[in-house]
Structure 1
Amino acid sequence: MSISLPDSVATFFQVSNGAAPSALRRAFSEKSVVHDEGQTYQGHEEIEAWLAEAQRKYAYRVEPLTAVQDDAGVTVVARYVGNFPGTPADLNHVFRLTDNQIDFLKIH
């Protein structure tokens, strides 16, 4: 399924699926915060390390299924298929954006 996403959000999912990790620096602001699996990651280095570790640990692919955009940002439901219990799993991604850069991401 192809859905319309802001460039930075689309970049996040592209990198999640194996695109060059350096693209994350264009997608996320320098002070971005990510909440995932009960942990918090802040800034480019921590976010890049978090995503690389998740890819290594779970060997997953992700496909955005739906997106709802409002003044606060974008909420995306995406399907993950990989090396983890309960695969496939549909997870909510709550993105807050400023000037088309991700300032905040919560995955649950």
Structure 2
Amino acid sequence: MKLPENIAGFIKAQNEADSAAFASYFTAHATVFDEGSSYTGREEIKHWIQEATEKYNMQVTPVDFTQNGTKGTLSVETSGTFPGSPAMMHYHLAMENGLISSLKITG
């Protein structure tokens, strides 16, 4: 599966536990929605992904990606040290000038 460069980089940063690189794929005022909480701005997003990666030792493998204009859905198999691993997750993305402006993660 061929992913757009920005999505491939975002996944690579997550799998390498590089929270600063991960956050750089988001707009300055982006929002992430995950597990009932929201995180706004690169600094909050950086801390969120760093804590989640450390807590769950997560790795994601892209399974499917669809895009329609500035909206996209990335399906990933997520594995780690959490109950039910591995699990299929869906990343609902909104893009702005090649950066992620919104990410909502659903199971």
TM-score between the two structures when normalised by the length of structure 1: 0.91
* Count of residues in Structure 1 that have an aligned counterpart in Structure 2: 106
Which runs of 4 or more aligned residues in structure 1 lie more than 3 Å from their structure 2 counterparts after TM superposition?
A: none
Partner of 2:82: 84
Question: What is the aligned counterpart of 1:31 among 23, 29, 32?
Answer: 29
Question: What is the aligned counterpart of 1:71 among 69, 72, 88?
Answer: 69
Equivalent pair of 2:79/2:86 in contact (CA under 8 Å): yes
Query: Which structure would you say has the larger RCO, counting Cα contacts within 8 Å and 6 or more residues apart?
Result: 1
Residue type of the partner of 1:67? F
| Counterpart secondary structure, 1:103 | strand
Tell me how large the CA RMSD over aligned residues is. Answer: 1.3
Mind listing any 5+ residue stretches in structure 1 that lack a counterpart? none
Separation in 2, partners of 1:105, 1:43: 12
1:6 Cα deviation (Å)?
Answer: 2.4
| Counterpart secondary structure, 1:47 | helix
1:25 Cα deviation (Å)?
Answer: 4.2
Mind listing any 5+ residue stretches in structure 2 that lack a counterpart? none
> 1:33-69: CA deviations, max 9, x gaps?
0000100000011000000000011011110100011
Partner of 1:44: 42
- What is the identity percentage for the equivalent residue pairs of Structure 1 and Structure 2? 34
Separation in 2, partners of 1:98, 1:6: 14
TM-score between the two structures when normalised by the length of structure 2: 0.91
Residue type of the partner of 1:96? A
| Counterpart secondary structure, 2:24 | helix
